[in-house]
């Protein structure tokens, strides 16, 4: 599995904003760094299919050999994790994850099996007892872990992370980084991480794309 960007250029009001050329292999995490306003978040929007006026994109965005430029966002199968975890505040922790399961899996499992599977996933991040907790009662680090579990529950073909640790203090950040890196590596997914933090890039230890 791989994500490729071939001569991908993004325009804003028909003026060039950035051009990139790179691929992310299965299990690889590539960091995207650059000045504020350089277009990093816009690049992620282009990949996930959420680009809107005044932006436009040219070139080829390919996921596992398929050009996805013209595929609507909800069918691209790309997982996104933002710095604002954007969990559904009216749902419990467990229901946030259950909601993200692919439809086929959601229907194939009895409610009790679904719950057991999600509790198992929560257990891997030390949150086994949190299924029924309201998400507002979680700390920032706990919310970030739930957010990544939710992103991965959807079985994405690639993952985009936009400043995933931006809201965390240094201690939490340092606890969470290796876990996130391991989760992505374990699943063999191509991942792109936008970050301002050279500590993130160091922890990932892979290629850095400057925009
Ligand atoms: N809706 C919009 N209309 C016009 N210009 C926009 C719009 N949204 C963003 N921009 C501009 O497009 C450029 C790229 O924005 P983007 O958010 O992608 O930058 P970034 O590199 O992610 O920045 P940061 O590191 O500060 O988050 C910026 O100059 C921004 O001001």
pLDDT tens column, 149-188: 999 999 999 999 999 888 788 888 888 899 889 989 999 9
pLDDT in tens, 102-145: 888 878 889 999 999 999 999 988 899 999 999 999 988 888 88
Mutate to test the pocket of ligand 1, among 16, 19, 35, 37 (most ligand atoms within 8 A of CB): 37
Specify whether domain 2-210 bears CATH 3.40.50.300: yes
Going by their DSSP bridges, the two strands 191-194 and 55-63 should be labelled as unpaired
Element (H, E) at 113: helix 111-123
CA 95 to centroid of ligand 1, rounded, Å: 33
Within a 10 A sphere around the Cβ of 43, how many other Cβ atoms?
A: 28
Question: Is the whole model's pTM more than 0.90, yes or no?
Answer: yes
CA distance 190 to 30: 8
pLDDT in tens, 22-51: 999 999 999 999 999 999 999 999 999 999
Nearest Cα residue to atom 17 of ligand 1? 41
> Does the beta carbon of 14 lie inside 6 Å of ligand 1?
no
- Least Cα distance to 78 among 62, 56, 95, 94 occurs for 62
pLDDT (average), residues 7-20: 96
Nearest atom, ligand 1, residue 38 CA: 21
Q: What is the DSSP string of 140-187?
A: HHHHHHHHHHHHHHT--SEEEEESTTTTS-HHHHHHHHHHHHHHHHHH
ipTM, two decimals: 0.95
> Does the beta carbon of 42 lie inside 6 Å of ligand 1?
yes
């Amino acid at each position: 599995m791989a994500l490729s960007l071939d001569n991908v250029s993004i325009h804003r009001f028909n003026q060039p904003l950035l051009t990139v050329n790179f691929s992310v292999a299965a299990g690889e995490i590539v960091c995207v760094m650059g000045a504020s306003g350089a277009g990093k978040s816009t690049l992620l929007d282009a990949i996930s299919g959420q680009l809107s006026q005044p932006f436009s994109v040219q070139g080829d965005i390919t996921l596992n050999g398929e050009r996805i430029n013209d595929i609507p966002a909800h069918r691209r199968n790309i997982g996104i994790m933002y710095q604002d975890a954007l969990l559904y505040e009216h749902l419990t922790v467990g229901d946030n994850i259950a909601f993200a399961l692919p439809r086929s899996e959601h229907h194939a499992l009895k409610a009790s099996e679904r719950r057991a599977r999600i509790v198992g996933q929560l257990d891997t991040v030390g949150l086994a007892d949190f299924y029924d907790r309201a998400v507002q009662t979680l700390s920032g680090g706990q919310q970030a872990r739930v957010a990544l579990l939710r992103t991965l529950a959807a079985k994405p073909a690639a993952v985009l992370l936009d400043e995933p640790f931006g809201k965390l203090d240094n201690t939490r950040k340092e606890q969470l980084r290796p876990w996130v890196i391991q989760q992505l590596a374990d699943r063999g997914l191509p991942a792109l991480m936008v970050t301002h933090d050279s500590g993130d890039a160091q922890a990932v230890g892979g290629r850095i794309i400057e925009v």
